Each structure stands twice: as C-alpha cells, then as structure tokens.
C-alpha cells in the first residue's frame, strides 16, 4: 500500500518550499523589543522540561527524565511562563493539563527541539561513523522509513543503519536488552512508560472494512490481526467481549499488508489506528453495530545516553510523524461511513 503524506499537510512541514508560481507575501512585523528579548531567553532546556512534563503527565516523572529535582522543574515552568507572560499548565492533585496557550507552545517546543537536535547533528557529522540500530513495526516502517533513511544518508553518509522490523512487543524487548538505539512502537495509553520512552502520537483505533463489504455483518465476526500482545488486538477483543459480540480470528499475520489484504477482500475487518486507513478501506461507522475502540499511542524508545547520530535519527522520526501529530485528523482519503 502506498503511504504518501497528505499534500495539505506536507505544506506545513518546516523547510517546505512554496510553489514557484506562488508569490511570497510580505514579511511579518518584527517582534516588539520586550518579546524579542524574552524569546532570546527561552533556551532549549526550558522547552525540553516543558515537553517532558506534558509527555509524562507529572512533574516528578519529568524531573526523572531531565535529571532535575521536582522543585527545579517547577521553577523552570514558572520561568517559562514569566518569559512568555502566559499560563501554560493547570496542575491539580490528579493530573497536569495544558491551557490553550500551553497547547500552542507544545507544538512550537517540539519543532524547536527537533530542529535543534538536527542542527547539532548536522555540524557533527563530518567524522561520524559506526552503526545506528533502528526498529519499527512494518506499517510504521512503510510510512516513515523511506524519508528517514534518505535524509539520514545525506547527513550521515559514513554511518551504517541496521533496521529491524518487528512487532511492538518484540521491539520493546530488544530496546530493554540494549539491542536497539531508537525504535517506534505502539502501546496502550495505560501501559507504563519505560526509561527513554516518550509519546509522539496518539490516535484512535477504528474498525476498518472494505467499501461496500459485508464482513462486519457476519457472526462470528471475522477479524484480521496479529498476536495477543498487540495493542490493537487487546483493545478490540476487550470491546467486543464487553458488548457480547461473538468473534473469531480469521486471519493472523505479523505483516500489516497481509492483514489489510484480507480486509480489502471483504474476508474480515480489523482494528487499526485511524491514520492508516486508505482506500479501498473505509472506517466502519456507528451504524455498523460495532463497539467503539480505545486510542493507541506511538512511543519513541531511545537508548539513554544516545550519541549524536542516534539523536539525529530520533529527530527525523519525530519530523516524519509531525503532519499527523499536528493534524489530529485522519488522512484526507479516509471516510467515516457505513460501507455503500
């Protein structure tokens, strides 16, 4: 299956060039002196701490990640809010949540940190060599690896890339054993984060079926998926059992394309992240009588103390997912409808 980036989102990427026949508008006004001075004092450490708080949902867990005390983390947030003259976080006894201004800053912070990492890597690559070990499930591999590997080869020509394609459970074990430098994996939101992990994208799971198909009407309901440790399978099985819907595992494969082939042939339906649904598949709507599914996270696992080339690959992974992370929407081609 082709996994091309939506054109409307490609235009939002940092570094995207306008079409040649589209004139550029006038430059925006310069920031006022006070704001310009404040922006100069917002260093990457403040932004890194802020992102850590958002991704871990806790000041104490963020402190562990960035190597500071919780009180130091709290002081960094106060400093950041003071520099920006904005309230960024709401904190109560149960959770830390973002204000609307905090949401805006989060997008900027992630892009700035990714670009900072890329910049540092770019100026350190002349003498770099060695091997970077990457891991991804096959669906994400097809989605992001072509662009990631191409750009990394341009900036790190002397570094060997060892790519492992496997299930999220297998990749997590390899990371824990020190056999991978950086990996993308799927996880359920309630699964505890391990050291070196961060959430890069959250997506709802949806039921995917063939346009005009009838597989969703059959009982037992035929499913296409993989093993019992798969985050997609766990959420789907729990939802079906909760609603008392009889089902069977009609097609089992570790290969995402094989699973989707069974769905395209109307032999089964499958739970998948919404951003992976492409024609001829459609999202099966509420009228199909299927239970709602939970969300799933894509997490980046990075070896603690990773060197510059590993950090560069991690930054490229983040950039490759940025269009879907910012959009919070399914792909343009996706349709939420009852099969016609």
Asked whether residue 103 falls in the same domain as residue 169, the answer is no
Q: What angle do CA 36, 111, 61 make, to 5 degrees?
A: 100
Question: Taking a C-beta distance cutoff of 8 angstroms, is the pair 197, 326 a contact?
Answer: no
What totals of helices (H) and strands (E) does the chain contain, helices first?
A: 11, 12
**Does 7 map to a domain?**
no
pLDDT score for 126? 52
Asked whether residue 243 falls in the same domain as residue 221, the answer is yes
Per the structure, the complete domain to which residue 221 belongs is given by 203-296
| C-alpha distance from residue 22 to each of 11, 14, 18, 19, 25 (Å) | 13, 18, 7, 5, 9
Look at residues 86, 121, 156 and tell me which one is the last residue of a structural domain: 121
Asked whether residue 111 falls in the same domain as residue 186, the answer is no
Asked whether residue 288 falls in the same domain as residue 207, the answer is yes
Number of structural domains found in the chain? 3
DSSP state of 24: P
Asked whether residue 290 falls in the same domain as residue 225, the answer is yes
- DSSP bridge partners of 90: 97
Give which of 32, 97, 61, 13 is closest to 323, Cα–Cα: 13
Q: Give the other-Cβ count within 10 Å of 139's Cβ.
A: 20
Angstrom distance (rounded) from CA 67 to CA 70: 10
DSSP state of 269: B
Query: 46-87: per-residue pLDDT in tens?
Result: 999 999 898 888 888 888 888 889 899 999 999 999 999 899
Angstrom distance (rounded) from CA 141 to CA 145: 5
pLDDT score for 89? 92
Asked whether residue 50 falls in the same domain as residue 180, the answer is no
What CATH code is carried by the domain that includes residue 305?
Answer: 3.40.190.10
What contacts 187, CB < 8 A, 6 or more positions away? 168, 231, 296, 297, 298, 299
Regions of the chain where pLDDT drops below 50: 1-32, 34-37, 328-340
**Does 25 map to a domain?**
no
Angstrom distance (rounded) from CA 142 to CA 31: 41
**Does 179 map to a domain?**
yes
Asked whether residue 262 falls in the same domain as residue 136, the answer is no
Look at residues 66, 100, 121 and tell me which one is the last residue of a structural domain: 121
pLDDT score for 315? 84
Asked whether residue 210 falls in the same domain as residue 323, the answer is no
pLDDT score for 334? 37
Asked whether residue 211 falls in the same domain as residue 291, the answer is yes
Asked whether residue 108 falls in the same domain as residue 164, the answer is no
pLDDT score for 125? 56
Give which of 300, 303, 298 is closest to 181, Cα–Cα: 303
What CATH code is carried by the domain that includes residue 60?
Answer: 1.10.10.10
């Amino acid at each position: 299956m082709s996994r091309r980036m939506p054109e409307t989102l490609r235009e939002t990427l940092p570094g995207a060039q306008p079409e040649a026949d589209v004139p550029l508008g006038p430059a925006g006004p310069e920031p006022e002196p006070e704001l310009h001075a404040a922006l100069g004092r917002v260093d990457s450490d403040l932004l890194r701490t802020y992102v850590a708080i958002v991704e871990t949902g806790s000041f104490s867990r963020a402190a562990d990640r960035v190597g500071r005390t919780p009180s130091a983390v709290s002081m960094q947030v106060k400093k950041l809010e003071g520099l920006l003259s904005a309230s960024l976080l709401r904190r109560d006894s149960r959770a830390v949540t973002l204000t609307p201004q905090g949401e805006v800053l989060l997008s900027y912070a992630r892009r700035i940190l990714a670009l900072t990492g890329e910049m540092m890597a770019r100026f350190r690559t002349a003498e770099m060599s060695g091997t970077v070990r990457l891991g991804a499930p096959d669906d994400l591999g097809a989605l992001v690896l072509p662009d990631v590997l191409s750009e990394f080869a341009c900036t790190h020509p002397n570094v060997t890339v060892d790519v492992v394609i496997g299930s999220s459970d297998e990749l997590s074990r390899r990371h824990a054993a020190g056999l991978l430098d950086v990996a993308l994996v799927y996880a359920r939101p309630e699964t505890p984060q391990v050291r070196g992990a961060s959430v890069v994208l959250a997506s709802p799971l949806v039921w995917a079926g063939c346009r005009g198909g009838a597989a969703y009407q059959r009982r037992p309901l035929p499913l296409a998926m993989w093993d019992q440790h798969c985050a997609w399978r766990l959420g789907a099985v729990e939802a079906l059992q909760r609603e008392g819907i009889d089902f069977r595992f009609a097609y089992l494969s570790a290969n995402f394309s094989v699973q989707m082939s069974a769905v395209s042939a109307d032999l089964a339906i499958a739970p998948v992240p919404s951003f992976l649904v492409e024609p001829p598949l459609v999202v099966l709507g509420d009228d199909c009588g299927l239970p709602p599914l939970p969300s799933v996270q894509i997490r980046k696992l990075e070896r603690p103390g990773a060197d510059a080339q590993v950090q560069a690959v991690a930054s490229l992974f983040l950039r490759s997912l940025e269009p879907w992370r910012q959009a919070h929407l399914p792909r343009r081609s996706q349709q939420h409808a009852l099969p016609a």
